[in-house]
A and B are shown apart, each in its own frame.
Chain A
Amino acid sequence: MADTMIEADGLVKSYGETRALAGVSFSVPAGSVLGLLGPNGAGKTTAVRILTTLALPDAGQARVAGIDVLAHPADVRRQIGVAAQDATLDGLLTGRQNLVLVGELSGTRTGQARARAAELLELFELAGAADRVVKGYSGGMRRRLDLAASLLMRPPVLFLDEPTTGLDPVSRQRVWEVIRELTGSGVTLLLTTQYLDEADALADHIVVVDHGQVIADGTPRELKERSRGAHVEVTLAGPGPEAAQVIGSLVGGQVSVSADGLRLGAAVDSAPGLATGLVRALDQAGILVDNIEVRQPSLDDVFFALTGAHIPGDGGGSGPNGMGTGQAGPGESAAERDSEGARA
């Protein structure tokens, strides 16, 4: 087995006028998890598409499981499992039929494919819906089925493109659990995500991409340090010249004070009871507090720390709680996006 299971070297890719990747390099050691972190349009999906043989780079090299992706794409396909961002399933087949089809097309005998499909349907809590047409599945169910399809052949290298985007918190937790199980089994995993907490929870190493370029990489801990942990903001009811000193002694760092002296801010290490401690200390010093807010580091903070710019079109904290609307709960029926009759 190769020591480095995924290797991207100087990948460049343009779609028309849009430069999706402007020279991206990273590598993933065997058995580890890489989180490719970045906002929408950063180039994450393009990188995954190149590594999974779906797209050809304009320049650069890629190797997966020691095989040159450009020279031997068919061989690479025998080593990888892929769960794409838009679940790639057949809406008119049942969940079970989808998995059996994937198994058969991968070269497994139908009997074995059926056994493996049953096993995975059970694992992903889809056994009850196994013989229902996928068109009626919720977003979370589709995502789990897609994940099951990617695991069907037990591939040594796995690519999961935003596996939890658009999922409700319960489905998200379920997917996380499965990914954690996987990482314990020796699989090499590349995971893309928009969420820092997801990369933090699952990845051994994080590569941050923006505008088609790698802007930072390191372990989750290293990156969070660069985003300076949490941030506390205190609004005073009236002027309190000693407030900065009181806060400073508690957080052990630089305290910024607004021009009117009423708003103070500081970078802090996230700790339970911090806000209570601050209020008590300020109260003892005879300073009245109007409002106190502790913010956890968000992807936006990481970006701010790394690039000095906020994520475009994103108002701030892009954690999971700020996720888009319209998520379908488990068991809920998703809007039909599948084709109508293929015959007119």
Chain B
Amino acid sequence: MTAAIAQRPGDPAGTRRITHGVAERVRNVVSMTRRNLVHISREPMQLSDVTIQPVLFTVLFIYLFGGAIPIPGGSYTDFILAGLLALNLTTSTMGTAVGLATDLHEGIIDRFRVLPMWRPAVLVGRSLADLLTACLCALVVAVTGLAVGWRTSAGLPSIIAGFAIVLFFAYSLSWVAACVGLNSKSPESAASFGFIVLFPLAFVSNAMVPTQHMPGWLQAVADWNPVSAVTAAARQLWDNPNPSASISAWPMQHPIEASLAWTVLILAVAAPLAAWYFRRRTTE
């Protein structure tokens, strides 16, 4: 028993290691990502918004609205799939906000704070675990789409690029969600972020319907919405109907460039901001 408990003597103050090496940071991030994935495996219902919701939305939109919304140059099914991918991935970033708010609400955050770990791993690990669940979501959308008749004539690299653009955008949004989670008093208030911000963001776009029929001011908002850019980019890459191509707004004329620009901009602002909020929230 004594051997198990024996302590090492204090390191002399001269042997301080102040910085964390890259390898150590990566290991911390891997540990935190794995921890968050274990959480998901414990409560699989957590995954409903990336598994059940995409199937539900796909079926609902295609069979409810499919017949009522004419799409020039193709079927509603071929049109809607990129939109469904963007919709589901956008709204699923709510999980990042709720997950971080939950961590801050529990005693576990104090454990992380007294460990000599690289602290941003708490945020990076969360965002990477959420990126992996987003990949699962993309797979569910693709399989459901194929089952209900979605087809693409694009080559495999283009198809993958379409998915990657939307996933990369969702990853940047999860950092915005992290900022929200870090400013939420409770997991419940973090969840309301989804309904107040993410749903309007996803719906006021070209994801579900062509923007041409919207009132002028709303169309302007929709055409500059980053969700419209990534949706149009995926449609273009997949050779699916893309009515937005006839809109003169710059992001609709250059959807791939606009998507990447939006994503990089959001990441560049939200990631440092989240790190700052995390420091502020964990200082007392």
Contacts and interface: CB of A to CB of B under 8 A. Distances in A.
Interface in A229-259: none
Contacts of B102: 339, 342
B284 A105 contact: no
A87 B107 contact: yes
Chain A binding surface, main DSSP class: loop
B152 interface: no
B49 interface: yes
Given A88-B110, A90-B35, A102-B115, A343 B13 contact: no
Interface stretch (B93-101, B160-168, B266-274): B93-101
Interface in B1-55: 1-2, 4-13, 16-18, 24, 27-28, 31-32, 35, 38-39, 42-43, 45-49
B105 interface: yes
Given A2-B13, A187-B7, A89 B107 contact: yes
A101 B35 contact: yes
A79 B10 contact: yes
B28 A105 contact: yes
Interface residues of B, number: 54
Contacts of B28: 104-105
Nearest to A113: B31
B153 interface: no
Contacts of A338: 106
Given A74-B18, A87-B107, A344-B191, A67 B13 contact: yes
B194 interface: yes
A11 to B, nearest CB: 14
Contacts of A78: 11, 17, 116
Interface string A171-196: 00000001001101111100000000
A1 B94 CA distance: 49
Given A133-B42, A344-B49, A344-B191, A66 B10 contact: yes
Nearest to A152: B115
Contacts of B43: 92, 340-342
A145 to B, nearest CB: 11
A185 to B, nearest CB: 5
A288 interface: no
B45 A89 contact: no
Contacts of A339: 102, 105-106, 187
A123 interface: yes
A20 to B, nearest CB: 10
The 6 A-B residue pairs with the shortest CB-CB distance in the complex, in nearest-first order: A88-B111, A156-B10, A343-B46, A105-B117, A88-B107, A344-B191
26 contacts: A5-B10, A15-B284, A49-B284, A67-B16, A74-B116, A75-B17, A75-B18, A80-B114, A82-B111, A88-B111, A90-B111, A93-B35, A93-B38, A97-B35, A102-B111, A102-B115, A105-B32, A122-B4, A154-B8, A156-B8, A156-B11, A158-B7, A340-B43, A342-B98, A342-B99, A343-B99
